[in-house]
Chains A and B, each alone.
Chain A
Amino acid sequence: EAGVAQSPRYKIIEKRQSVAFWCNPISGHATLYWYQQILGQGPKLLIQFQNNGVVDDSQLPKDRFSAERLKGVDSTLKIQPAKLEDSAVYLCASSFKVPTDTQYFGPGTRLTVL
């Protein structure tokens, strides 16, 4: 079974630039999550999708972050414009059906904002 795919793996940008990350979950997984992991901290949930609907985006900085999951499959997370404090690893995870199922993670995208 193929795992969660993410791209790019690494990205370096200047502050105020825009960036987008892509995630393809495990086939058949209805729930998709985006996490932000800042160095020295645990992953923090940014947004959770159930199929193509948003379940929780309470910790997403909506003035600069946006995410979509068209057709309930793959997803894109965008930052526009980026700030220095956005430097982090962005992890995508998926679970089969309900949030109680085990979450399977992709390898993450390491973003550096200069």
Chain B
Amino acid sequence: ILNVEQSPQSLHVQEGDSTNFTCSFPSSNFYALHWYRWETAKSPEALFVMTLNGDEKKKGRISATLNTKEGYSYLYIKGSQPEDSATYLCAFSSNDYKLSFGAGTTVTVRA
């Protein structure tokens, strides 16, 4: 079981503000880093899969960066909206392709 840490555990954001949070993972035997968004009572939704150091991915107002050498990824939300309220999970996979998940960052956007 690989140690994947996410911080902060939770955060509150005012509507319209931007925010970001971190996923830390082992820097050895890296294969891929996944981000999922999990809204209450819904299925976790895949946001990004990143495999290369320096990768940047973007989907609407959400973007992510990857640093495999130091073992971290940032997820950014620009101009937060109430529909961005969710738990954001990151998952690391090494050469065996199994996913090790962090505990998530729960984002609450206040109108």
A, B assembled together: yes
State whether B42 touches A107 (Cβ < 8 A): yes
> Is A67 part of the contact surface with B, judged by Cβ < 8 Å?
no
State whether B98 touches A42 (Cβ < 8 A): no
**Chain A interface category by residue count:** 20 to 34
State whether B98 touches A105 (Cβ < 8 A): no
The number of chain B residues with a CB under 8 A from chain A is 24
State whether A44 touches B101 (Cβ < 8 A): yes
Which residues, 33 to 62 on A, are CB-close (under 8 Å) to B?
40-45, 48, 56, 59
The CA-CA distance from A107 to B44 in the complex, in Å, is 7
> Is B62 part of the contact surface with A, judged by Cβ < 8 Å?
no
> Is B13 part of the contact surface with A, judged by Cβ < 8 Å?
no
Q: A56-B98, A100-B97, A103-B99 are in contact. Are A42 and B43 (CB under 8 A)?
A: no
Q: A100-B32, A102-B46, A103-B46 are in contact. Are A45 and B99 (CB under 8 A)?
A: yes
> Is A108 part of the contact surface with B, judged by Cβ < 8 Å?
yes
> Is A32 part of the contact surface with B, judged by Cβ < 8 Å?
no
Kindly count the residue-residue contacts between A and B in the assembled complex, taking CB atoms under 8 Å apart.
Answer: 47
State whether B98 touches A4 (Cβ < 8 A): no
> Is B4 part of the contact surface with A, judged by Cβ < 8 Å?
yes
State whether A102 touches B98 (Cβ < 8 A): no
Smallest CB separation, B66 vs chain A (Å): 16
> Is A72 part of the contact surface with B, judged by Cβ < 8 Å?
no
> Is B103 part of the contact surface with A, judged by Cβ < 8 Å?
yes
State whether A42 touches B4 (Cβ < 8 A): yes
Question: Within 8 Å CB of A103, what residues of B?
Answer: 34, 46, 99
Smallest CB separation, A88 vs chain B (Å): 13
Smallest CB separation, B21 vs chain A (Å): 14
- 17 of the cross-chain contacts (CB-CB < 8 Å) are A42-B89, A42-B101, A42-B104, A43-B89, A44-B1, A91-B44, A99-B93, A99-B98, A100-B97, A102-B34, A102-B46, A103-B34, A104-B46, A105-B36, A105-B43, A105-B45, A106-B43
Residues in B lying within 8 Å of A, measured CB to CB: 1, 4, 31-32, 34, 36, 41-46, 49, 89, 91, 93, 97-104
